[in-house]
Structure 1
Amino acid sequence: MRYAARRVAQMPPTIFAEMTALAQRHQAINLGQGFPDFSAPDDIKQAAMRAIAADCNQYAPGAGVSALRQALAGYYRRHYRLDFDPESEILACVGATEAIFAAMLGLLDPGDEVILFDPAYDSYRPAIAFAGGIARSLVLRPPDWRLAPERLEALVTPRTRMLLLNSPHNPTGKVFSREELELLAAFCRRYDLLVVTDEVYEHLCYDGARHLPLASLPGMAERVLTVSSLGKSFSVTGWKVGWAVGPAPLVDAVHKAKQFATFCGATPLQTAAAEALAVEDDYYRQLAEDYRRRRDFLCQALAAAGLKPFVPAGTYFVMADISASGFIDDRDFCRALPEKAGVAAIPASPFYADPEAGRRLVRFTFCKSWPLLEEAATRLRRYFAA
């Protein structure tokens, strides 16, 4: 008897599950999976508790709590001068991952091709595959992860349907520049492509880098579905409150796929999210500055341990070259590190269509408390000095 469908039979557990399990087994400091270990802001926690106490505990509307959709309309207008109708152009989702998964199911037909940038977050390819689509990769290479226009053009075929863009980019920390975004916008207009943008790290930009939504560029609003979430900006990754915004036909297609998966997300958490989105800009500035300090500390610690970090312009991740570590394979490095050094990280090769392209790269996260980062630095220095 065959139990698993062929589409999942060969799918391994995510690399995050494997590395987190190793971290737990060896009581290692988890600098792999990107979840903060410090407290979320008190105001947002209090808002969730008030919503529960007020009995906001039944099913939310399929498109999301009205207060959240209204808050998102105001948020995009205030931050990016983008206007979305909360009734037809905003969809609340169970995290950004669900939004992207539903977007692939709702917007792709079997055989449609999607251009994405490697290294790519590991849920993108499975989502495309479940929809019957075909992923076509353009590899970004260190140290600057430059976008090569000539290689982009070479990926286009008559079946190209979509561009999937993540900026700020996980795992590299690249923030696509205005020049690069204008190039991508012209490319998408020329080939009449849909675009799904993953912008969950939109407020985590450093050293003068600024996040610019692709939807805000001329001629792009009609073809871009913008995805983001609450988790990274407010340290509530476990709430899984995300959203997709864009033109009504795109949002409707995503909603049609989503409705038969989760139908709706958690009502009290969506209600609290609506309050969180009203914070002043100072909150985001302070958040980015705090993370910048953590970034600098971790980069210095990795360099002191003999690794070669590529300083990120955004996100809360650092990619590092492990060539000088004595290891020649990222998976071997990351499987040994929790036991030998007491620190966990994520190998980069699972983020690539061709694993060889990431074989010498490892991703570390700095969304951890200062005591944990300091202890991790001590452990890494001790291990690599031995």
Structure 2
Amino acid sequence: MTQYWQQLMSEAQQMRRQLHSEPELGWQETDTAAAIRQQLDALSIPWRACANTGTLARLNPEGKGKHIALRGDIDALPINEQTSSPWKSNRAGCMHACGHDGHTAALLASAGWLKHVESQLDGPVTLVFQPAEEGGHGAREMINDGALESVDCIYGWHNWPAIEFGKLLCPDGIVMCGNGTFEIELQGVGGHASQPELCRDPILAASALVQALQQIVSRRLAPQQATVVSITSIDAHSAPTVIPERAVIGGSIRVSDTQARDQVNHLIESISHQVAASYDVGCKVKIMPRYHATINHASAAANVRNAWTALYDKESLDCKSLVPIMASEDFSYYLREIPGAFALIGANDGGTHHGHPCHSPYYDFNDRLLEPVTRLYSQLVGAPLPD
């Protein structure tokens, strides 16, 4: 039993590094899906495609106990990797910079172990290999294709480099914020840089608007309200002697609930039009809501914390990090449908790349997380563990 477990851990690390070297963007994960399905076939675990590149696998389907789902996300990001690891991405402009390669490998390791002890499982277990988490609403499409059919409870996790290695954060209630993006187009009158009086400068208006928008959080919202408004781009390309016709501002918001999102969206639109009018330029605002806040169900979150402390001890819980984390997760879709919980598990052990934040070109998943997460998933479904 112990020997097989060690074999699974070794294979999980190999798979993680293979996936890392061959990343694929959301809704393009054909090779990743094929690798997952090939391993499920080798384990004699039945599966079906879900939402195209997603995969659902089922264990102990006739079990009479609680039906639990375990989720891993599989997509990568449009980032050029800057690490020097032997398993560095071999696909330019695409990188597993958020650890989804590790999430997938941990779920495959769990698949191997749960198949090994399948006769001792109480209820059915569904393994959810989900595409397009990074802004592609993959969870929503998996649900639409029946991923949660007959499932009673779902669990997921994310590695988190900002937390000390092995510490688990899984609060009751909100754990990660909702998000959205926006685009503001300012239409001016272009012309020669020597004659600004004949122009209506969209760059000047954009500069003022950036300052105004960044004050939404500090001056228009209560200090206790967890909100972020970030301007992430200004596009007003022109020649050195030309005032352009147009400037486009892009940005992102992070909010704790729907009410806060609606309030921030209203302020972005109102402030944009007022600032534009003061500079006599036209204004169009486009707001794109993305994910809701990820809100844990209290009983499921307690299950995760209890399982983790049973494996390790109470000192392994993260009691220092402030919640909600301002990042977002489409696991929120699942939690709006059925009970469940989402945990963050610390990855930072001081290793060369394990302190870099997610979405950094220098990030790399900490392979030391594969075993504890496989133990956690096994514990959550009531599977026996090796000594």
TM-score between both structures, scaled by the size of structure 2: 0.27
Larger radius of gyration: 2
Higher share in helix: 1
Higher share in strand: 2
TM-score between both structures, scaled by the size of structure 1: 0.27
